[in-house]
């Protein structure tokens, strides 16, 4: 049974990943890690995540816990990505990466590391969100340039990046289907006298409030009708289940950079 380490074990997503691994019959939690100054270093990982005690203490040494690991799950913060990727590369450990808000330099580092280890990287591991990506591609190709495209996303008040990685990925799917460059088409919010909307643009709007897990809507608006594709997450466990599926899949793959399309077997 493959051994899995969870980075950022004390975080909101880290605790859910530990719960999901505890419920898995195909993967085993072999390590949990936090930054050195965390008050949770030394705490039992099971107790930390609200499940039975596992006699597995949270460590502050990623290299130590990766020694016996097959996969690292990293849903932490962008600043930690370079270190975590380098540690996986050094130990020959596969990586399931869900951290968003990465710099272009960090992304280049991931691409290079994928020559040595298998990596599944996705802005969102929810199976439903990844279904939405396929629906968005179909909708954009059918509706074409006769609609205005607006993307809105809502997350909890603690989320530090905007728009969300999922919203950007949705925009990239739509832009690619329409033959557009998202970097040139994207409009982030509007204020003041902005003039008439250009149909070639794709609008993004972000809301941060309360404890909302995540909501994304893409609107295709034409004269007289509109189509909306929406995904609402009520629990982070939806992301954790997708991450479990990715971790199960990645253990039998050669080095390379993969997405959830490969994990789910989407061939189009």
Catalytic positions, written as ranges: 155, 159
The rounded distance, in Å, linking the Cα atoms of 80 and 263 is 25
- Give which of 66, 62, 51 is closest to 19, Cα–Cα: 51
CB 5 within 8 A of CB 72: yes
User: Which SS3 state, helix, strand or coil, does residue 230 take?
Assistant: strand
Would you mind telling me the total number of residues written for the chain in this entry? Answer: 268
Q: Is the peptide bond before 163 cis (omega within 30 degrees of 0)?
A: yes
Q: How far is CA 108 from CA 105, 139, 220, 222, in A?
A: 5, 31, 33, 38
CB 231 within 8 A of CB 151: no
The rounded distance, in Å, linking the Cα atoms of 201 and 141 is 16
């Amino acid at each position: 049974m493959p051994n899995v380490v969870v980075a950022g074990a004390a975080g909101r997503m880290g605790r859910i990943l530990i719960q999901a691994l505890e419920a898995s019959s195909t993967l085993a939690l072999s390590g949990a890690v936090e930054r050195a100054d965390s008050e949770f270093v030394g705490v039992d990982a099971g107790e930390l995540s609200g499940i039975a005690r596992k006699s597995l203490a949270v460590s502050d040494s990623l290299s130590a816990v990766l020694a016996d690991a097959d996969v690292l799950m990293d849903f932490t913060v962008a600043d930690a990505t370079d270190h975590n990727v380098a540690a996986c590369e050094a130990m020959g450990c596969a990586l399931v990466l869900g951290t968003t808000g990465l710099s272009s330099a960090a992304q280049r580092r991931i691409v290079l590391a994928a020559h040595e280890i298998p990596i599944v990287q996705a802005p969102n591991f929810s199976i439903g969100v990844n279904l939405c990506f396929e629906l968005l591609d179909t909708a954009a190709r059918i509706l074409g340039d006769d609609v205005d495209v607006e993307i809105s996303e809502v997350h909890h008040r603690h989320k530090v990046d905007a728009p969300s990685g999922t919203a950007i990925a949705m925009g990239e799917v739509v832009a690619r289907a329409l033959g557009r460059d998202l970097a040139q088409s994207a409009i982030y919010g509007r204020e003041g006298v902005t003039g008439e909307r250009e149909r070639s643009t794709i609008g993004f709007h972000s809301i941060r409030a309360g404890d909302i897990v995540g909501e994304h809507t893409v609107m295709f608006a034409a004269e007289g009708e509109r189509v909306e594709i929406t995904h609402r997450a009520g629990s982070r466990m939806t992301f954790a289940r997708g991450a479990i599926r990715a971790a199960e899949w990645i253990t039998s793959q050669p080095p390379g950079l993969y997405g959830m399309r490969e994990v789910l077997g989407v061939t189009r």
